[in-house]
Chain A
Amino acid sequence: MSVSAIDTLRQPRPSKDRPALTSLFLKERGREAMTPEEIATLENSVDEVRSIPARTIVIRRDERVRNSSLLLEGVMCRYMDDRQGNRQIVAFHVPGDFVDLHGFAMRYLDHDVATLTPTRVALVGHDRLEQIVEQQPRLTRLLWFSTLLDAAMHREWVFRLGRLEADGRVAHLFCELHARLAMVDLVRDGMFRFPVTQIDIAEAAGVTPVHLNRVLRSLRERGLMTFRGGEVHIQDIAALTALADFDPAYLYGGGPTLEGSGS
């Protein structure tokens, strides 16, 4: 399905009656330090909200981008194809992520961005981001921090693929998702929705679907976690964390310091 077929829902300008669109952005990672004015600026920067079906390419590599997408609901991914068309997922995105904020500075992306599930995204025009950069240094630092978080996660994904074996890679991926979704309050008693396929997980972990299936069975039989029908249940986070060599420090829980370089 082409992007032009995406259902576009024009939003009225923000008002007291409309729930906040950006409430998950940097939740537990700096949002708490945002002033009411900064939150209002971010809310007012949303041009429109789009509902996008699952499995839709939203941005193609080398395509000029003129807005950035704040993910409100659903799961998105960034991916790259090799010359045979085999996909490597290089990032998963969950609600609260500013998926392609780096497109503001880079203008073109070096990878594709797609939805994996039905999603809702808030689109922020780059002209509005330009105004924020010119007028709001603290908010600009938070947006910058958001893109640096992506970079930190990419480094961890390189570590995962380069140093961990199949079970460690998969365990690490689910530890990360558990931590990220917990920050946006989408985990209940170790359980969360992540309605993607085993093939998607395999493409992110750099293993074949058969290999992934064997690892998931092993993790289930060891009582560490289950992944069934898009539902993840982390049963032993301590053991899963140990198997994954997982340290959530790179997710920067708590957020950045906004009080100036001297503090």
Chain B
Amino acid sequence: MTPPVAGPPVHSEAGLATAEHGIVMLDGPNGVAVSMTPSAALATGEGLVAAARLAERQRRKG
């Protein structure tokens, strides 16, 4: 039996973003499968970059 874990895992692999017919699609990691308008994808991307930089600073502080 798989040992119990505390919630879904934190993923270390990146999702795959593609564009088709003017729509941005993001696949993964782990169950992510979304389609976005270009503006929504840009805003999401900027938000992800900002959050990633903040998370890196948090890790450095320990």
The interface residues of chain A lying within 8 Å CB-to-CB of B30 are 163, 165
CB distance from B12 to the nearest CB of A (A): 16
Return the CB mask of B16-30 against A: 1 if under 8 Å, else 0: 001011010101111
B32, CB-defined interface residue at 8 Å: yes
Q: In the complex, how many residue pairs between chain A and chain B have their CB atoms under 8 Å apart?
A: 37
A53, CB-defined interface residue at 8 Å: no
The interface residues of chain A lying within 8 Å CB-to-CB of B29 are 165
Does A208 contact B35, Cβ atoms closer than 8 Å?
Answer: yes
A169, CB-defined interface residue at 8 Å: yes
Does B33 contact A210, Cβ atoms closer than 8 Å?
Answer: no
The verdict on A207 contacting B33 (CB below 8 Å), with A165-B28, A166-B27, A167-B27 known, is yes
A164, CB-defined interface residue at 8 Å: yes
The interface residues of chain A lying within 8 Å CB-to-CB of B32 are 165
Q: Which of the residues A161, A162, A165, A210 comes within 8 Å of B20, measured between beta carbons?
A: A210
CB distance from A82 to the nearest CB of B (A): 15
Interface size on B, residues (CB 8 A): 13
Q: Interface majority SS on A: helix, strand, loop or mixed?
A: helix
The verdict on A214 contacting B18 (CB below 8 Å), with A165-B27, A166-B25, A166-B27 known, is yes
A87, CB-defined interface residue at 8 Å: no
Give bound CA distance, A169 to B20, whole Å: 19
Does B25 contact A210, Cβ atoms closer than 8 Å?
Answer: yes
B31, CB-defined interface residue at 8 Å: yes
Q: Which residues of B contact A (CB under 8 A)?
A: 18, 20-21, 23, 25, 27-33, 35
17 A-B residue contacts at CB 8 Å?
A161-B31, A163-B30, A165-B28, A165-B29, A165-B30, A165-B31, A166-B27, A167-B27, A207-B33, A207-B35, A208-B35, A210-B21, A210-B23, A210-B35, A211-B35, A213-B20, A214-B18
Using A208-B35, A211-B35, A214-B20 as known contacts, list a sample of 18 further A-B pairs with CB atoms less than 8 Å apart, ordered by residue number in A. Answer: A163-B30, A164-B31, A165-B27, A165-B28, A165-B30, A165-B32, A166-B25, A167-B27, A169-B33, A205-B33, A206-B33, A207-B33, A207-B35, A210-B20, A210-B23, A210-B35, A211-B23, A211-B33
